[in-house]
A and B are shown apart, each in its own frame.
Chain A
C-alpha cells in the first residue's frame, strides 16, 4: 500500500511541477 502511495506522490509532484511551468509561462504572457 505504501509503495502505491509513494509512487503516486511522485507522479503528483511532477504533474504539479509541469503545471508550475505552465503557470510561469502564463504569467509572462499576461504581463508582456
Chain B
C-alpha cells in the first residue's frame, strides 16, 4: 500500500462528500416540484411529454398504483428490448451485420437491463448492433435508473408525509428524473469523457495492419491446434461515450465492450477513471441528503451517509490490503511496489490503474449496484475477491444503486430502530412514525427474498451438472464463482467474477429469474412500508425517542447491516473465499 494509493481513495470520498449536499438539495427541489435553474428549458418539454402520453401530472397515486405503474412500465420495456435483440439483423445501424441475439441470451439481457443489473453474458462489440446498444441498452440505462430513483422518492414521501395514502405520481417522478437529473449530467459527462479519448461515432469497425505480425496457436472446433500468422486487427468502436456516462451515473454497469471499464475506449485515462468513480457514487450519495431534507432532518441523512462511509472504508481497506500484499505462492516474483511497478497481485489488473485504483473501483462498483469493472474480480486474492462479494451481500446499501441503495438502507433503518425499541422496551419510532409489526414483516420479506434466491439457486447450481459444468476452477473458487453469479444477479449489480461460462440455458434463465425477483420482489414490500408509514400521524419527540441523527444511530445501523449479512451468508463464504484463503496459506491455489 502506498501514500499515493490512499490519497486517491480519500480524494474520491472527499469529492463525493462535497457534491452530496448540493446534489441532494437539487434532487429534493426537482421532486418537490420547486423552482430550479433548468425550469425555463425543461418545463415546456415536460409538459409536452405529459400531453403526448396523456399523463395527469396532478394525479397522486397510492402505493399500490405507484408499484403497478412501475411493473407495467418495466414489463413493456423488457419485451421491447427482447424484440429489438431478436430482430437486430434486419434493423438499421448495424454496420458490422451482426446476427440476431440467441433467445436465451436475449431473455437474460432483457431482464438484466430492465432491472438495472446489466449482467452481460456477451461481449457487446461482437453481439450487439449500434441500434441495440443505443435504443435498447442505453435507453434502459436511463429508464431503469430513473425508475429506481422514483421509487426511492416515493419511499421518502412515505416517511415524510402524514395521514395520507398518496406517494406521488410514478410517471411524473420518472419524467422529472430523466429530464432534470440524468440527461443534463450525462450531456456534460459524455463530453468530458470524449475530451479524454472515449470514442463516440457510428462508423464500421476499423481494420488496422499490424506493424509486427503475430504468430498464434489457434484451436479449432475439432480440437486440433494450428499455427496462424495474424497481420490485421479489427478495432471495435461506436457510440461509446454516451453509453459510458449513464452506465456509471445510473449505476448500470453494462459495458459497450466486453472488457468494460478496463477497455481504453471506455476508460482511457486516470482522470476518466476518477470521473467514473465519482459518477457511480454521486446520485446515491446525494439521495441521502435528499432524504434528510425532504423529511426535515438533514442530520438524519448525514447519519446514514456516515454509516455508509464507515462500511465503504472497511471494504476498500480490506481489498487494497489483500491485493497489495500479493500472492504468497508466487515466491521469487518481485511483488513489491516501486517507482517501476504497482507491486502486489497484478493478475487481471490494468497496469495503468494499479492496485489502489483496481481495489477502489471493485469496492465502489459493488457497494453501489453498478457492476462496471476495471479489473477482473476473479483474479483477486481470495480475501480481496471476497470484498466485492460481501459488498453485494450487504444488500448494496453502502451508497447502493441509484434509488435502490436508499430504499434498501431504509429497510435496515427500520430494523435498527425496531431493535433499539426492543432494547429499551418502547414502541419503536422512525422520525415520529411508530414502527409496527406490519412494517417489520415487510422489511423482513424484502431481506429474505434476496437470501432465499441467492442461496437457493447457488445450492442447485453447485450440485447439478448444468451448474458445475461451467466452472473453470473446481473447489472453493468454483463455489465462489457460482455464489457471485447469483449474488450479483439478485443484488442487481451485474459485475461478474469471471471464470464461469454463464452463457448457457441454465445460467441465462436462472440468472434472469434471479434478477427479476431481486429487483421487483424486493421493492414491493418497501413500497408497502412507505404506503403504511404515509398514513400514520407524526408523534412529537419525547425523552424515550431513539434519535436517528447521531453517532449511536450510525453505529447501530452499521451493526444491523453487518449482523444480518454475516448471519445469512457466513456459512457460504466460509466454504468459498475463506476456505480458499486458508488453502492458499497452506500452499494450494485454485
Contact = CB atoms under 8 A, between A and B. Distances in A.
A14 B71 contact: yes
Interface stretch (B73-81, B327-335, B402-410, B474-482): B73-81
A21 B525 CA distance: 8
Interface in B496-526: 513, 516, 520-521, 524-525
Given A11-B75, A28-B532, A17 B82 contact: no
Contacts of B528: 21, 24-25, 28
Interface residues of A, number: 20
Interface string B60-84: 0001100110011011001100100
Contact of B438 (A14, A22, A27): A27
Interface in B155-197: none
Given A2-B104, A17-B521, A25 B438 contact: no
B438 A10 contact: no
Chain A interface, DSSP helix/strand/loop, else mixed:
helix
Contact of A21 (B68, B79, B86, B532): B68
Contacts of A24: 442, 445, 524-525, 528
A9 B508 CA distance: 13
A9 to B, nearest CB: 8
Given A21-B64, A31-B437, A14 B525 contact: no
Contacts of B79: 7, 10-11
A24 B107 CA distance: 28
Given A14-B75, A28-B528, A3 B438 contact: no
B524 A13 contact: no
B472 interface: no
A2 B520 CA distance: 24
A17 B103 contact: no
Contacts of A2: 103-104
B438 A18 contact: no
A20 B525 CA distance: 9
Given A3-B103, A7-B82, A24-B442, A17 B64 contact: no
Instruction: Give the dominant DSSP class at B's interface.
Output: helix
Interface in B430-451: 437-438, 441-442, 445
Nearest to B114: A10
A26 to B, nearest CB: 10
A15 to B, nearest CB: 9
Given A25-B528, A31-B438, A13 B516 contact: yes
Contacts of B74: 14
Contacts of B86: 3
A2 to B, nearest CB: 4
Contacts of B107: 6, 9-10
Contacts of B72: 14
B563 to A, nearest CB: 26
Nearest to A24: B528
A20 B528 CA distance: 11
Contacts of B521: 17, 20
Query: Interface centre among A2, A6, A11, A31, by most B CB within 10 Å?
Result: A6
B442 A17 contact: no
A5 to B, nearest CB: 8
B437 A25 contact: no
A27 B437 CA distance: 11
A11 B111 CA distance: 12
A5 B111 CA distance: 14
A20 B524 CA distance: 8
Nearest to A23: B524
A19 B336 CA distance: 58
A18 B68 contact: yes
Contacts of A21: 64, 67-68, 71, 524, 527-528
Nearest to B513: A13
A9 B110 CA distance: 12
A1 B26 CA distance: 49
A6 B78 CA distance: 11
Nearest to A9: B107
Nearest to B521: A20
Name, among B67, B437, B513, the residue most crowded by chain A CB atoms within 10 Å (CB to CB).
Answer: B67
A24 B527 CA distance: 10
A30 B108 CA distance: 37
B64 A32 contact: no
A6 B72 CA distance: 17
Nearest to A1: B103
Given A24-B524, A25-B528, A6 B82 contact: yes
A21 B62 CA distance: 12
A12 B258 CA distance: 31
Contacts of A9: 107
Nearest to B75: A14
A25 B107 CA distance: 30
Contact of A10 (B63, B75, B531): B75
A14 B441 CA distance: 23
Given A17-B520, A17-B521, A25-B64, A32 B438 contact: yes
Contacts of A11: 75, 79
Given A3-B86, A27-B441, 11 more contacts: A10-B79, A10-B107, A13-B516, A14-B520, A21-B67, A21-B524, A22-B64, A24-B525, A25-B528, A25-B531, A28-B532
- 8 closest pairs, A vs B, by CB? A14-B75, A2-B103, A24-B528, A6-B107, A21-B67, A17-B520, A31-B438, A17-B71
17 contacts: A6-B82, A6-B107, A7-B82, A9-B107, A10-B82, A10-B110, A10-B111, A11-B75, A13-B513, A13-B516, A14-B74, A14-B520, A20-B521, A25-B63, A25-B528, A25-B531, A27-B441
